[in-house]
Amino acid sequence: MATVAAAASPFAAPHEMMARAARPAAAAPEATTTMDLGQVLRLSDFDKIADLGDGASGVVAKVRLRGCGSSAVFALKTAHYCDGGAEVEVEALRRVAAGAGPWGSWSPHVVRCHAVFRCAGGEPAMLLELMDAGSLGRDPRRRATVAQLLAHPFVARRDGEACRRQLREIIVETM
């Protein structure tokens, strides 16, 4: 699926992210990387604690570094959108790990990427900072109130009461 033009850019387009490539016939050798401590890490150095979730682009597991005596846990995201441009993708992930964003500094809401691995099937895996409190977007203290939602210009300029009634029903169902 990757083309010569796509290889020039280290970032995949959304439609390229969703394409699933066939698994290679032979398993790729396990990739190693170094973390902040300077030690060489392998994907097999981590113990899986729990599944955190999955989506269209990958799965996320809670992992702990085996034998380090630390209580530090990480989120290991394994991507499913690997295609023929794997080398370009690995380079992009390395740039993310180094904090070299294409638009200057990264957002403070982006978690830290500690390491990038290649799984046996060729999929990229990123060792990320674990946000144990969950998504900032799901924090009840940061959510809009029902009154704020109903006063939003998008809702206010709609067909008045009918739209507000539907919104109230949706809010009640999701709470």
Q: Indicate whether 26 pLDDT > 50.
A: no
Per-residue pLDDT tens over the stretch 58-68 = 888 999 988 77
Per-residue pLDDT tens over the stretch 120-151 = 877 888 888 887 766 655 666 767 777 787 77
pLDDT of residue 55: 76
Please name the residues in contact with 166: beta carbons below 8 A apart, sequence gap of 6 or more: none
Instruction: Decide yes or no: CATH 3.40.430.10 for domain 4-133.
Output: no
> How far, in whole angstroms, is CA 161 from its chain's centroid?
39
SS3 content of the chain, % helix, strand, coil (to 5): 30, 25, 45
Between 10 and 128, residue with greater pLDDT: 128
> Which residues participate in the annotated binding site for ATP?
77
Grade residue 48 by pLDDT with cuts at 50, 70 and 90: very high
Which position has the token pair 């982006």?
Answer: 110
User: Average pLDDT over the chain, rounded to whole?
Assistant: 67
Q: 25-34, 81-90, 163-172: which has the highest mean pLDDT? A: 163-172
Nearest to 83 by CA among 28, 133, 5, 12: 12
> Which residues participate in the annotated binding site?
77
pTM of the model: 0.49
Across the range 28-47, mean pLDDT stands at 63
pLDDT of residue 45: 86
